[in-house]
Amino acid sequence: MWAHRPWIGRFLPSDTSSGRELRAYSRVVNAVEGNTTFYASPAPATVAKWATLAEPGFRFVFKVPRHITHELRLRDADADIAAFVSLMEPLGDLVGGMTLQLPASFAPVDLSVLESQVRRLPAGIHWSVEVRHPGFFEGGGRVALDRMLARNEVERVLLDSRALFRQPPLTDAARDAWSRKPRIPALTEPLTDRPIVRFIGSDDPEITAAGLVEWQPIVADWLGEGRAPTFFVHTPDNADSPGLARAFHAEVGLLVPGLDALPEPMPIEAAEQGSLF
């Protein structure tokens, strides 16, 4: 997300108006997880607006609508997927990828359905799949999924919720996250040259920080191998997520000299007329 009003005056300029947060957000970080599209497809006019607001070089990684993944369960979904891809075409190079986030009930027994759909996915998109069934994280289920995705050049989203579940929740936001987020093993092996990590932190800042430290050398190694990872940072209330993401990038940059810098954020407060600073 990018329109989180608690960020106004902290990470986004104080005068940012509702509906135009993307302009400033795309100067804080260089990618966003398009979660709203999981719940409903935007109107074409909204997509056109996004194209005018996002900074060049910014990337959207959209979740396809849950109607496709959770209701149709990838069956007879070609037309719906094609329509969603077509809807996002005005964004052009701003589309960094699309994710099929599958329900926890989508199990290894359904792998043939997933493979059939993966083979028919529209070309020209960096596709990824997020699974939540425990059977995809060990033994033959994991091996079969990883081999199938790798041979089709589709990435497996690496979801890390360990920090969230490291201690009982202290806040309402964390209690809500405990009830909704999957408690699954954290994997660190990418399948393509464009790994995607979804890190979910704790309501305890120290636990979140420690979890992010674990990922720094992993992401640095990927960059050294020539991969182009995308790393999303969440916390239960997401209040500090943009700052955590920028700090993570800076720490990885210390391990990878020459790493491209993030954009320069817009000033939080507008300069007074006649002032140079």
DSSP bridge partners of 128: 99, 155
**Between 3.40.50.300, 3.20.20.410, 3.30.70.1530, 3.30.420.40, what CATH number should domain 15-155 receive?**
3.20.20.410
Q: Say what the pLDDT of residue 1 is.
A: 81
- The DSSP output letter for 8 is B
Cα 207 from Cα 228, distance rounded (Å): 26
Q: Is 134 exposed, middle or buried (0-12, 13-18, 19+ CB in 10 A)?
A: middle
CA proximity to 4, closest of 23, 25, 30, 33: 25
Q: Say what the pLDDT of residue 270 is.
A: 66
- Torsion sign across C-alpha atoms 218, 108, 62, 166: negative
Contact 220, 253 (CB under 8 A): no
DSSP H stretches of helix in 91-171: 111-119, 139-151
Q: Say what the pLDDT of residue 13 is.
A: 93
- Torsion sign across C-alpha atoms 230, 175, 10, 211: negative
Q: Where in the chain is the domain with CATH 3.20.20.410?
A: 15-155
Q: Say what the pLDDT of residue 275 is.
A: 45
Regions of the chain with pLDDT less than 70: 270-277
Q: Say what the pLDDT of residue 19 is.
A: 86
Cα 208 from Cα 200, distance rounded (Å): 8
Question: What's the token pair of residue 242?
Answer: 């943009």
